[in-house]
Amino acid sequence: MCRVGSDYYLACSSFEYFPGVPIFHSRDLVHWTQIGNVLDRPSQLRLPPEKGAYGGIYAPTLRHHDGTFHLIVTNVSDGGNLLVTAADAAGPWSEPLALPEVPGIDPDLAWDESGDCWITIAGVSQLRVDLATGKLLSELSRTWSGTPGATAPEAPHLYHIGDYWYLMIAEGGTERGHSVSIARGPRPDGPFEPCPANPILTHRGVGSPVQNTGHGDLVEGPDGSWWMVLLGARPQGACPSWHVLGRETFLAPVAWVDGWPVVGELALAMDAPGWPLKPAAEEPVREDFDPGPLHPRWISLRSRDVETCDTGTRPGWLTLRARGGSLDAPDVTFLGRRQQHHTCTVRTLIDPAEGRGGLAVRLDEDHHYEIEADGREVRVHARIGPLRTVVAVAEVGEGPVALGIRMLPPEHAPEPWVIPLNPVTLGFEQPDGAFHPLATLDGRYVSTEVAGGFTGRVLGLYAAEGTVHFDWLDYTC
């Protein structure tokens, strides 16, 4: 995150989805509006399907320097670290400058008083780079790498605050042991003295609804206040708990005591502490797919082009043309939006007269549920690891049909040792509008703790054969 005047800008990872690096704007650090995606052209972002899930774009750092926005990020699927720039955070952003000599992931940008740019990477190592050419100005050198014995020192950010240079990192792994630690030194390259109170933030062993807290970034407000944005997850259920929304963005106040940051409780302008940052206004519950560009919230698997996805072929409808034959395929034609609420319903009207497709809950190629129509019947499919099955079938006849998926809160277990279900109900609507459930599946099998990774569910539309058309999509919670 960075601030320019009274405006805050926030960039997030996008992994195997296109377009890449969603970027948000806020004036109060609480209400956020997505203003675009940084990597929104095929020339900027290549995500080879053969690389599979959980590749792609990792851990951007966004900074504003000398009137220009700079964003550095790692494409772990193609080429490694890259840099893009823009005069306006909403874009357009430049073509990427490849940084093949900058190794690793989680790159950070910081400029010293002489104008030299320091890149710090997970590990933790540093080097100086000419951002005009990408050429190295110094050798790679190791620096402070966190608490002795702690795993995965990563997500470094370097700041010049007052008399010190501060190096903040995440450590402990990105699961329940995740944490933030910090050190300070006289120069960008140290030597660094660790904070005696490290970790300055962690929720491990704490009975909080927010867990996996780490990967923080600091920002100073125009009034001199300090804040940290960080990622965290909201697990549900009994032991073992699970989360399905991926890693969300949280905010915490920061005070400075004896030259060290002290992080307060996660607290936002919502009814309870520990909730993620929220949109500036309620998003429309219905997307009518009017002709023109899609809202930047819509994401596709690895690529998107007019040959497979458009809103002009049949005005007022989204048209998808099949590539891969099912959601098991890494190149399936898919358009979705992230699941943002534990309890929500997604509905669509599909015309499959020219093909086969449907509505899905997707985590990756090996973990997804979908309800599919082909103009004669609808079917519920479940893919859980190596197992794929047709769960239910119903005849519906020709013509468009409304499909729906309902995500419900976990059921209360009758005893503490009984693991509760996380119901996902898939069905279709009768001609009178009544919802007809075909199957209720356990959503835990489409969760991070079962599938692995860290991207969260995406709810979306797909084409598995021929051409299918979608009139609208509702997302309500």
Domain harbouring 201, CATH code:
2.115.10.20
pLDDT, position 236: 87
AA identity, residue 85: T
pLDDT digits over 207-263, tens only?
899 999 999 999 999 999 999 999 999 998 877 889 999 999 999 999 999 999 999
pLDDT, position 138: 96
122: which 2 tokens?
């997970």
pLDDT, position 273: 36
Number of domains into which the chain is organized: 2
Which domain does 183 fall in, by range? 2-279
Q: Name the residue with higher pLDDT: 184 or 267.
A: 184
pLDDT, position 276: 65
Q: Is the pLDDT of residue 274 over 50?
A: no
Q: Which residues of 337-352 are buried (b: 16+ CB within 10 A; e: fewer)?
A: bbbbebeebbbbbbbb
For 158-172, 342-356, 411-425, which range has the lowest pLDDT when averaged over its residues?
411-425
Same domain, 181 and 134: yes
pLDDT digits over 145-194, tens only?
899 999 999 999 999 999 999 999 999 999 999 999 999 999 999 999 99
Q: Is the pLDDT of residue 267 over 60?
A: no
Same domain, 231 and 368: no
Same domain, 399 and 449: yes
Same domain, 6 and 128: yes
pLDDT, position 108: 98
pLDDT, position 353: 95
pLDDT digits over 34-48, tens only?
999 999 999 999 999
The pairs formed by 108-116 with CB atoms below 8 angstroms and a separation of 24 or more are 108/61, 108/72, 108/156, 108/157, 108/158, 109/61, 109/63, 109/65, 109/70, 109/72, 110/63, 110/157, 110/158, 110/159, 110/160, 110/188, 111/65, 112/160, 112/188
Same domain, 270 and 342: no
Give 273: exposed, middle or buried? Use CB within 10 Å, 0-12, 13-18, 19+: middle
Other beta carbons less than 10 A from residue 115's beta carbon: 8
Same domain, 464 and 441: yes
The pLDDT-based confidence of 324 (bands split at 50, 70, 90) is confident
Q: Is the pLDDT of residue 421 over 80?
A: no
pLDDT, position 388: 97
Q: Which helix (H) or strand (E) holds 449?
A: helix 448-451
Q: Where residue 301 sits, what CATH number does that domain have?
A: 2.60.120.200
Distance of alpha carbon 284 from its chain centroid, rounded?
20
Same domain, 62 and 138: yes
pLDDT, position 278: 64
> Is the full-model pTM beyond 0.85?
yes
Mean pLDDT of 97-124: 97
Q: Is the pLDDT of residue 299 over 80?
A: yes
pLDDT, position 268: 40
Domain boundary among 217, 251, 279: 279
Summary mean pLDDT of the chain: 93
Q: Is the pLDDT of residue 271 over 70?
A: no
pLDDT, position 140: 96
Same domain, 303 and 213: no
Domain boundary among 230, 258, 279: 279
Collapsing DSSP to helix, strand or coil, 348 comes out as strand
pLDDT, position 270: 32
Q: Is the pLDDT of residue 331 over 50?
A: yes
pLDDT, position 272: 37
